[in-house]
């Protein structure tokens, strides 16, 4: 009866309970599985080799989900590119820059992989060749229960054709795109379920590899991880830092210091998605206009994955060398072209990068897929470097595009980076920063489902154009910033 009892129902906004992010438990379990598998492989090699079917089954599950992921992400990606381009100069320039940087990152990964030749000497063998024998009939039966994989290249071509066809249909194609987006949400949820089996797969794969090759396997994995971390560091300092200095005159190390808190957040979560709202706010504080930030950052989270691109090519070369089946130059070039397109499917869900790697191998050298078990074991150890490189690439891209479009206050940028104009943490408050702050506490929780739904750039660009407001208006950018948390790039 009291008037005060009805007030919360009318004016208060009841927020749903936040979902707890449990992915850190997956990370811990993978570490335990890798250490345990390596120990068993060293202490009891025969037992380790006998555990190989666990890794084989996990790779079969990954193969099962490749085609649906590629189809959904490419169809939606084609629509995203077209819609991002309609935003105008900023969207078109961003997409061109992202394409160039992704190609460069893939090339760098190939060059480094050909220099260090990771995995050489391991001589991994497919399960059938390694195990064999009549006593594996039960294992063969159990593995046969996992659905077979669908050819990747025909799926990719079909996805491109469907994407362009839907784009040409305009408004009439929107219901179909919405349906595909819903299917993608289911596919990504299934992918997350499969990734929770990663510790078991990693345990069996690492145990088998170490059991067969001893310390050589551990050394090869250490070389790959070290080379990958070093390559990412050099890419940030030399490539991104050089571009930033030439175009804007800003220092990459000062930018990294400016983003230090975000780096710590990313390193602790192994995902750049957790720092998305903060990057939106900090780029605006650094003098970049809201339209540029609202378009470039969410678009980059789906299309500017420099660290993931380096990982894809280096990991592919590692697997081919470990299997004793190195790729020739022609195969490497065709793999590069495939990865340029398919890497757009590496955004949106944990483990999609692993699925994209499997897709590239399946499309070019299907016999190499059995060597991916080793990558499963060390993939989590390289996820931090991927996430940090992707995040830095998006920050640099925002500053570069702001400069090229003359939508940046370089004086404010220098002041922000050298600390004379410190960032106000209160600006992340929902009332002080539109929708960006609102998603801060939910980016790894309640918004995860939206991220897995693949809203990505389509959502952000669509919000800018469908509202009928100019790209430069605060209204359009507020919508973009508020919804951009759905364009999360999990590594």
Per-residue 3-state assignment (H helix, E strand, C coil) for 97-116 = HHHHHHHHHHHHHHHHHHHH
pLDDT of amino acid 125: 63
Fold of 23-127+137-486: 1.10.3860
CA dihedral (242, 250, 488, 297) in degrees, to 10, reads -110
CB burial of residue 337 (10 Å; 0-12, 13-18, 19+)? exposed
Residue pointed to by tokens 């364009």: 487
pLDDT of amino acid 398: 93
pTM of the shown model: 0.67
Domain boundaries, the chain: 23-127+137-486
Token pair for residue 134? Answer: 């009549």
Token pair for residue 39? Answer: 């120990």
Q: How far apart are CA 207 and CA 50, in angstroms?
A: 9
pLDDT of amino acid 485: 36
Q: How far apart are CA 258 and CA 252, in angstroms?
A: 10
pLDDT tens by residue, the chain, 491 residues: 444 444 444 444 454 455 555 666 777 888 888 889 889 988 998 898 888 888 888 878 877 887 887 788 778 777 666 666 556 678 788 888 988 998 899 899 888 988 887 777 666 665 444 444 445 677 777 777 777 767 777 887 888 888 888 878 878 888 888 899 899 888 878 887 888 888 888 888 888 888 877 887 788 888 888 999 999 999 999 999 999 999 999 999 999 999 988 888 777 666 677 688 888 889 999 999 888 888 888 778 777 888 888 888 888 888 888 887 888 888 888 888 777 776 665 554 555 667 778 777 777 777 777 777 777 777 777 877 888 898 999 999 999 999 998 989 999 999 999 988 888 776 565 444 333 333 333 333 333 333 333 333 333 333 333 333 333 333 333 333 333 333 333 34
What secondary structure letter does DSSP report for 420?
A: S
218-248 in b/e form (b: 16+ CB < 10 A) is: bebbebbeebbbebbeebbeebbbebbeeeb
Of 36, 41, 38, 33, nearest in space to 211 by CA: 41
What secondary structure letter does DSSP report for 136?
A: G
Q: How far apart are CA 62 and CA 82, in angstroms?
A: 30
Q: How far apart are CA 346 and CA 271, in angstroms?
A: 13
What secondary structure letter does DSSP report for 408?
A: B
């Amino acid at each position: 009866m009291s008037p005060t009892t009805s007030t919360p129902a009318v004016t208060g906004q009841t927020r749903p309970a936040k979902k707890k992010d449990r992915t850190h438990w997956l990370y811990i379990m993978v570490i335990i599985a890798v250490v345990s598998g390596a120990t068993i492989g060293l202490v009891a090699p025969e037992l380790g080799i006998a555990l190989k079917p666990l890794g084989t089954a996990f790779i079969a599950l990954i193969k099962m989900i490749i085609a649906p992921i590629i189809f959904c992400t490419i169809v939606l990606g084609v629509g995203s590119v077209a819609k991002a381009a309609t935003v105008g100069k900023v969207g078109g320039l961003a997409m061109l820059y992202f394409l160039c940087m992704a190609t460069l990152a893939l090339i760098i990964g190939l060059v480094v992989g050909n220099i260090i030749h990771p995995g050489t000497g391991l001589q991994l063998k497919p399960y059938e060749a390694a195990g064999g024998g009549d006593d594996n009939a039960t294992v063969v039966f159990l593995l046969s229960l996992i659905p077979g994989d669908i050819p990747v290249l025909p799926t990719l071509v079909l996805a491109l054709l469907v994407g362009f066809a839907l784009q040409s249909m305009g408004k009439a194609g929107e219901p179909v795109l919405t349906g595909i987006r819903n299917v993608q949400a289911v596919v990504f949820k299934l992918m997350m379920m499969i990734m929770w089996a990663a510790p078991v797969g990693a345990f069996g794969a690492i145990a088998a590899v170490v059991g067969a090759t001893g310390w050589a396997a551990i050394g090869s994995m250490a070389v790959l991880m070290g080379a990958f971390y070093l390559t990412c560091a050099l890419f940030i300092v030399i490539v991104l830092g050089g571009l930033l200095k030439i175009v804007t005159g800003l220092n990459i190390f000062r930018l990294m210091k400016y983003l230090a808190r975000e780096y710590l957040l990313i390193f602790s979560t192994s995902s750049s998605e957790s720092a998305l709202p903060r990057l939106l706010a900090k780029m605006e504080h650094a003098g970049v206009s809201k339209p540029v930030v609202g378009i470039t950052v969410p678009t980059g989270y789906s299309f500017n994955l420099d660290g993931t691109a380096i990982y894809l090519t280096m990991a592919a070369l590692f697997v081919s060398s470990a299997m004793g089946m190195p790729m020739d130059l022609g195969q490497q070039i065709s793999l590069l072209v495939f990865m340029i397109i398919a890497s757009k499917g590496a955004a949106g869900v944990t483990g999609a990068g692993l699925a994209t790697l499997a897709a590239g191998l399946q499309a070019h050298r299907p016999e190499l897929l059995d060597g991916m078990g080793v990558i499963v074991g060390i993939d989590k150890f390289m996820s931090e470097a991927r996430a940090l490189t992707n995040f830095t690439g998006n920050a640099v891209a925002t500053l570069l595009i702001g400069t090229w479009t003359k939508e940046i206050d370089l004086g404010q940028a220098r002041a922000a980076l050298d600390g004379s104009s410190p960032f106000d943490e209160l600006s992340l408050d929902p009332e002080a920063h539109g929708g960006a702050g609102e998603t801060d506490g939910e980016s790894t929780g309640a918004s995860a489902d939206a991220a897995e739904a693949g809203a990505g750039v389509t959502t952000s660009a669509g919000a800018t154009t469908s509202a009928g407001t100019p790209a430069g208006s605060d209204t359009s950018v507020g919508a973009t910033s508020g919804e951009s948390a759905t364009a999360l790039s999990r590594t």
